[in-house]
Amino acid sequence: MQTKHTSPDEARLSIGEAASRLGVSTDTLRRWEKAGRITALRTPTGHRRYAPADINALLTGEAGA
């Protein structure tokens, strides 16, 4: 049986996915990143990727604690 292995980058959310989960626009998410409220990793092509745990922390009010 083969299983699909996901890399850490695959487990991360795109800016659109993250913004949708948070109920904000992608522009808001970019502003939050610039302000240090959330951190994004960049792919080799420069796309932002967000950790689901960071999104959940924002949703539960635990970010920046």
pTM: predicted TM-score of the whole model, two decimal places: 0.76
Grouping H, G, I as helix, E, B as strand and the rest as coil, residue 42 is strand
Domain ranges across the chain = 8-60
Sign of CA dihedral 24, 27, 28, 29: positive
Strand 48-50 with 13-14, pairing: antiparallel
In angstroms, the CA 5 to CA 58 distance is: 28
Q: Is pLDDT above 90 for 5?
A: no
Q: Is pLDDT above 90 for 43?
A: yes
Angle value at C-alpha 42, between 22 and 19, nearest 5 degrees: 10
Sign of CA dihedral 52, 36, 48, 16: positive
Class of domain 8-60: mainly alpha
Q: If you average pLDDT over residues 11-25, what whole number do you get?
A: 96
